[in-house]
């Protein structure tokens, strides 16, 4: 069986590897370089804290596979709890967190509500005097998405995958750049709609997000999402990675600003002070693209006969890549069904839906 994979990010490289491990002959097409797109600019925050059982199961499987790969090459996975909280006065978010935690615990996740005092005792560096509600997910961690993607590309090559970088893919049925394949997997991130256009329309909107890394800091923190403030932070390379900068505006996947905006850098000073009572010098800052769908869930499964899509991650693509890739490889090669292929089927939409963009972490808390 000869399979084409379009996209050299975390999902594409892992899927290519998993397909080859099942005996498929695989060619991966990447328009630029492996890990050059959204995966190389992702935050690397990983957790199982999803209220929906299927989402939680997929995230748990992904965490297991990350841990299995940790220590290979330059890739490492660091276990670190994930905390999300609401500040005083944000009643709606408090109620949402409490409700979601109850559902998570019913699904067997190691998640708990903690008081502001308990949160401060565990992480004294955090500002907690105005925290109205906080939750901690213990099964969580962080990683360098670029290192993971490069590792999986290397492992894919070792498994026999032909990786064609600097090779844009033109899709025509199951033909890619004029060559016919038994199956095609489109994992092209922000370019997915354009790649799939000759086959079928898909409702995906790329939107811009921003992040920065600070100077080295001597502070112990969890992975933190302040749902009231709309920002997140985590330790990275001795400093802190701070993210937000979400612009709910559809972007051209080939024409967008890769550098962080001045307003975002100023905003991050406020985020750091709100979370840690101090701000830090910026080492580097950047922007990336995430992809939104009408219902906030990915487009995953068979789009047309023999053409599969894995995209529309709402910023959660990296953290779930190992799980979704495994499911897709088993479906393409062995015909093994999985409920995710039905729950997230790309054919649940007509493809021309109009919808508003909502940032992924916010949707998790509000939905």
101 CB-near residues (< 8 Å, 6+ apart): 111, 112, 113, 135
Domain 2-72+144-204+294-366 belongs in CATH node 1.10.600.10: no
pLDDT at position 244 is 87
Q: What is the pLDDT of residues 51-79, one digit of tens each?
A: 999 999 999 999 999 999 999 999 999 99
pTM: 0.96
Mean pLDDT, residues 230-255:
94
pLDDT band at 310 (very low <50, low <70, confident <90, very high): very high
Please report which confidence band the pLDDT of residue 170 belongs to, taking 50, 70 and 90 as the band edges: very high
What is the pLDDT at residue 257? 96
Q: What is the pLDDT of residues 338-356, one digit of tens each?
A: 999 999 999 999 999 999 9
Report the share of the chain in percent with pLDDT over 70: 98
Give residue 246's pLDDT.
85
pLDDT for the residue numbered 358: 86
**pLDDT classification of 194: cutoffs 50, 70, 90:** very high
Cβ-based burial of 146 (10 A; exposed 0-12, middle 13-18, buried ≥19): buried
Domain boundaries, the chain: 2-72+144-204+294-366
Full 3-state SS string of the chain: CEEEEECCCHHHHHHHHHHHHCCCEEEEECCCCCCCCHHHHCCCEEECCCCCHHHHHHHHHHHHHHHHHCCCCCCCEEECCEEEEEECCCHHHHHHHHHHHHHHHHCCCCEEEECHHHHHHHCCCCCCCCEEEEEEECCEEEECHHHHHHHHHHHHHHCCCEEECCCCCCEECCEECCEECCEEEECCHHHHHHHHCCCCCCCCEEEEEEEEEECCCCCCCCEEEECCCCEEEEEECCEEEEEEEEEEEECECCECCCCCCHHHHHHHHHHHHHHHCCCCCEEEEEEEEEEECCCCCCEEEEEECCEEEEECCCCCHHHHHHHHHHHHHHHHHHCCCCHHHHHCCHHHCCCCCCCCCCCHHHHHHHC
d(CA 111, CA 289): 30
Q: Report residue 277's pLDDT band, with 50, 70 and 90 as the boundaries.
A: very high
φ/ψ of residue 27, rounded to 5: -120, 125
Q: How confident is the model over 121-146, as pLDDT tens digits? A: 999 999 999 999 999 999 999 999 99
362 pLDDT higher than 90: no
> What is the distance of C-alpha 142 from the center of its chain?
12
Q: What interhelical angle do 145-158 and 317-334 show, nearest 10?
A: 20
- What pLDDT is attached to residue 220? 95
pLDDT band per the 50, 70, 90 thresholds, residue 367: low
pLDDT at 365: 64
Once rounded to an integer, what is the mean pLDDT over residues 99-108?
A: 96
State mean pLDDT over 193-208.
Answer: 97
**Does pLDDT of 245 surpass 80?**
no
pLDDT digits (tens, 9 = 90+) for 280-307: 999 999 999 999 999 999 999 999 999 9
Q: Who has greater pLDDT, 363 or 288?
A: 288
**Helices 317-334 & 53-69, crossing angle to 10 degrees?**
90
Non-local CB neighbours of 222 within 8 Å, separated by 6+ positions: 80, 81, 82, 83, 123, 136, 234
pLDDT of residue 363 exceeding 60? no
Give me the pLDDT at residue 108, please: 96
Least confident of 213-227, 237-251, 335-349: 237-251
Judged against a pLDDT cut of 90, whether residue 31 lies above it is answered with: yes
Pull the structure tokens for residue 23. 């005996």
Please report the pLDDT score of residue 309 as a whole number: 98
């Amino acid at each position: 069986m000869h399979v084409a994979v379009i996209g050299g990010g975390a999902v594409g490289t892992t899927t290519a590897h998993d397909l080859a491990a099942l005996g498929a002959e695989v060619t991966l097409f990447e328009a630029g370089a492996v890990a050059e797109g959204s995966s190389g600019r992702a935050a690397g925050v990983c957790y199982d804290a999803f209220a929906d059982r299927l989402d939680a199961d997929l995230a748990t499987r992904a965490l297991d596979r990350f841990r299995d790969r940790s220590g290979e090459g330059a890739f490492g996975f660091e276990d670190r709890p994930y905390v999300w909280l609401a500040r005083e006065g944000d009643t709606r978010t408090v109620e949402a967190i409490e409700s979601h935690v109850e559902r998570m615990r019913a699904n067997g996740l190691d998640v708990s509500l903690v008081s502001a005092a308990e949160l401060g005792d565990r992480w004294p560096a955090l500002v907690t005097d105005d925290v109205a509600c906080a939750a901690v997910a213990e099964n969580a961690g962080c990683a360098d998405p670029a290192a993971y993607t490069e590792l999986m590309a290397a492992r894919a090559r070792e498994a026999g995958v032909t990786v064609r970088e600097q090779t844009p893919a033109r899709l025509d049925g199951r033909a890619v750049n004029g060559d016919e394949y038994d199956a095609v997997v489109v994992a092209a991130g922000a370019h997915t709609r354009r790649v799939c256009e000759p086959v079928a329309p898909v409702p995906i909107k790329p939107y811009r997000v921003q992040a920065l890394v600070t100077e080295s800091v001597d502070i112990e923190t969890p992975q933190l999402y302040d749902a009231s403030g709309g920002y997140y932070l985590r330790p990275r390379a001795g400093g802190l990675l701070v993210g937000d900068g979400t612009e709910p505006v559809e972007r051209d996947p080939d024409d967008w600003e890769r550098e962080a905006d001045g307003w975002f850098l100023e905003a991050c000073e406020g985020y750091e002070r709100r979370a840690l009572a101090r701000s830090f010098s910026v080492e580097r800052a950047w922007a990336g693209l995430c992809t939104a769908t009408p219902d906030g869930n990915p487009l995953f499964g068979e789009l047309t006969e023999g053409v599969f899509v894995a995209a529309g991650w709402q910023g959660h693509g990296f953290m779930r890549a190992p799980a979704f890739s495994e499911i897709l490889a088993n479906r393409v090669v062995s015909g093994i069904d999985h409920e995710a292929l039905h729950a997230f089927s790309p054919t649940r939409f007509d493809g021309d839906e109009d919808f508003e963009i909502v940032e992924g972490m916010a949707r998790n808390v509000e939905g």
